[in-house]
Amino acid sequence: MKIWLKFFVGSCIGALVAYTIPETLSAPLMQTISELVVSAGSYMLYPVIFFGFSVSIFEMRRERLLLRTTLISIGACVATAFSLSLVGLFSVLVYRPARIPIFATGTPQNPGFQIRTFFLQLFPASSFEVFTNGDYLLPLCVFASFVGAGCAVDHVAAKPVLALFESLTRVAHTVMVFFVDMLSIGFIALSAHWLFRFRPLLSTGVFTDLVILLTLTAIFICSVLYPALIKIMCPEVNPYRVLYAALAPMSTAFFSQNVHATLPVLLYHAEESIGVQRTTATVLLSIFSIFGRAGSACAITMSFALILKSYSHLGIGFFDALWIITAASFLSIFLGRFPTGGVLIALASICAWYGRGFGSGYLVIRPAAFFVGSIATTLDTLNALICTAISAERIGTVRHRAVRFFI
């Protein structure tokens, strides 16, 4: 059975649980199990990334693909962030959602988004500390890059290390696949817990327009914008093959709202379905999962534009629109420290930067933050897979598979 079909069956069972068993009895249990499932989903991520990234950097340096891959990745991260931010702002201006009343309680807090910390944590006092921070993947990738580059300096001396790392990569990948397969059972709790949170959100009627707007925008991006991008960049590739391969990772992202829990599913499908070589997939997906948060940029833009339209009678002028798109795209690049909840943190920061009495504006969106996060993480996941597929096509590291062999 295909993995996406297993996840779909698990989601249906979870929905049945949410609508048949009283919430007071099952909600706390589903929440606990869903948190356990998310942790299990990212359980083998660090070993897979560290050993795989080290070997990949060595292989790319040897084949002279490292610089080209890096430049393509940087261009893709910047271009997709700005493009999706523009689409998000345009959708708010066209759809004109209803004003959200001020009913949220709470006081503005320090958003916790500090770009300085983003850089300071790249090089901890001891390189082994990168294995202890389970929320920040970039320092691990930096350490793995140095290890791989060091192996490329002296091939003969590094031969035993590379052989060991390649073996450990295969073992870690095998264990990771086991946890990915087990996620289908965890989807029962993930979907039930998600629905327990979603029903009260809809029952208020306050965020209905926001839910509709985010959903329609996501559908447009997934079904129109990204297929057009694939067709332009890779005319010989059927874009809907990539979308089909993305079903399971997108489902994981939607219900978990966690980038790290989704990344193992992405790695598995990029290699086994799309046919991207493991060395390329490990590097590209890691980079795009850290820096390529275009979906988050879109969600931040839409949320902040909605706040402005709700509480400002001046509307959104050209320079305001340009500032919102630039700020949201800029912040999305530094969301790598937050595998979950990054959208609300970035939204709090953008409200503080904008000022003019909007410093606490993010509190308006906070009750719906989990849904905004679901859409953002789903789009982030699709963006990572599509950018990886396009980049791999450009550098020639894809072995195409027939759809019937997709996992």
CB 309 within 8 A of CB 92: yes
Using CA atoms, how far residue 151 sits from 2, 69, 138, 144, in Å, is: 38, 19, 20, 11
Tell me which residue has tokens 């910390």: 117
Least confident range from 95-104, 263-272, 369-378: namely 95-104
User: CA 30, CA 339: separation in Å to the nearest integer?
Assistant: 21
Q: Whole-angstrom Cα distance, residue 157 to residue 152?
A: 10
- CATH superfamily, domain 3-405, is Sodium:dicarboxylate symporter (1.10.3860.10)
pLDDT tens-digit profile of 131-156? 887 788 899 999 999 999 888 888 88
**What percentage of the chain has pLDDT greater than the value 70?**
96
Banded pLDDT at 398 (limits 50, 70, 90) = confident
What's the N-to-C CA distance of the chain in angstroms?
A: 8
Q: Is pLDDT at 112 greater than 60 in this prediction?
A: no
pLDDT over threshold 90, residue 24: no
Question: Which residue blocks in 42-65 are alpha helix, DSSP H?
Answer: 45-62
How many Å apart are CA 343 and CA 42, to the nearest integer?
20
Q: Tell me which DSSP letter residue 27 carries.
A: H
> Per the structure block, which two tokens stand in for 303?
């949320």
Give the closest residue to 196 by CA, choosing from 327, 23, 407. Answer: 23
Stretch 300-326: mean pLDDT, rounded?
85
What single string gives the DSSP state of each residue in 166-201?
A: HHHHHHHHHHHHHHHHHHHHHHHHHHHHHHHHHHHH
Going from the C-alpha of 149 to that of each of 55, 172, 265, the distances in angstroms are: 9, 21, 27
Tokens of residue 293, six digits:
């948060």
Are 172 and 50 in contact by the 8 Å Cβ rule? The answer is: no
Write the DSSP assignment of 99-127 as a string of letters: PPPS------------HHHHHHTTS-SSG
Instruction: Please check the confidence at residue 361 and state whether its pLDDT lies above 80.
Output: no
Query: How does the average pLDDT of the chain come out, rounded?
Result: 88
Query: What pLDDT sits at residue 110?
Result: 53
Q: What is the pLDDT of residue 82?
A: 94
The token pair that represents 187 in the structure block: 């989807």
Note the pLDDT of residue 25.
Answer: 77
pLDDT at 299 over 90: yes
- Out of 234-243, 248-257, 391-400, give the one with best mean pLDDT: 248-257
Structure confidence at residue 88 as a pLDDT band (50, 70, 90): very high
Question: Nearest Cα to 62, choosing from 143, 144, 146, 154?
Answer: 154
* Angle in degrees, CA 111, 139, 40, rounded to 5: 80
Integer angstrom CA distances of residue 144 from 48, 137, 150, 166, 291: 11, 11, 10, 13, 17
Mean pLDDT for 44-72 is 90
Q: Which amino acid, 231?
A: K
> Is residue 109 scored above 80 in pLDDT?
no
Q: Exposure of 225 by Cβ count < 10 A (0-12 exposed, 13-18 middle, 19+ buried)? A: middle
Q: Does pLDDT of 278 surpass 70?
A: yes
Question: Which class for 19: exposed (0-12), middle (13-18), buried (19 or more C-beta within 10 A)?
Answer: exposed
Alpha helices in 246-341 (DSSP H): 247-256, 259-269, 278-291, 294-311, 318-333
By residue count, the chain amounts to: 407
Q: For residue 276, what are the β-bridge partners?
A: 398
Facing residues of 398 across strands?
Answer: 276
> Half-sphere exposure of residue 258, counting CA atoms within 13 Å on the CB side?
22
Give me the residue label for tokens 């390529």.
292
pLDDT attached to residue 390: 92
Virtual torsion, Cα 197, 199, 201, 205, nearest 10 deg: 180
Q: How far apart are CA 202 and CA 134, in angstroms?
A: 33
pTM for this structure? Answer: 0.91
**Backbone angles phi and psi of 398, in degrees to 5:** -125, 135
